[in-house]
């Protein structure tokens, strides 16, 4: 299947950002894998019944940032025709441009958040 791309233009800096419109299984797995590398999983027993064991986990801001960086790397093909140092270039943009790009990336990665809501 041929990869689909779309070009977005940021509202302040007018940066032309070429992004993928969908994730491959490998890309999705790499982004989600960051959670499993960094999460502390434990369980807690409620009311003393085995069937009431509930998993408990904590995600720090650092994990979310690592996932977002991986999403930037995976989804953004180029910025203003340049494929180098994508993450830092996005992070150095005006905050409105950054927010705009994050919203576009979130549209592509929405299946990741839908997975976490199912659990």
Query: How much is the pLDDT for 60?
Result: 78
Distance CA 32, CA 37 (A): 9
DSSP 23: -
Query: How much is the pLDDT for 42?
Result: 59
Residue 44 CA to chain centroid, in angstroms?
A: 29
Range of the domain at 80: 5-118
Distance CA 48, CA 46 (A): 5
Distance CA 66, CA 9 (A): 24
Distance CA 41, CA 109 (A): 23
Place of tokens 């085995």: 50
Number of structural domains (the chain) is 1
pLDDT in tens, the chain (119 residues): 788 999 999 999 999 999 999 999 999 999 999 987 876 655 555 555 555 556 566 677 888 899 999 999 999 999 999 999 999 999 999 999 999 999 999 999 986 655 444 44
Tokens read off for 57: 């986990």
């Amino acid at each position: 299947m041929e990869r689909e791309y779309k070009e977005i233009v940021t509202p302040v800096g007018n940066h032309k950002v070429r992004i993928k419109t969908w994730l491959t299984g490998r890309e999705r797995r790499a982004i989600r894998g960051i959670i499993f590398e960094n999460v502390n999983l434990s369980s807690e027993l409620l009311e003393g019944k085995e069937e009431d064991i509930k998993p408990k986990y904590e995600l720090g801001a650092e994990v979310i940032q690592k996932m977002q960086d991986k999403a930037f790397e995976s989804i953004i093909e180029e910025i203003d025709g340049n494929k180098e140092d994508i993450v830092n270039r996005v992070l150095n943009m005006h905050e409105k441009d950054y927010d705009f790009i994050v919203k576009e990336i979130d549209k592509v990665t929405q299946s990741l958040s839908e997975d976490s809501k199912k659990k």
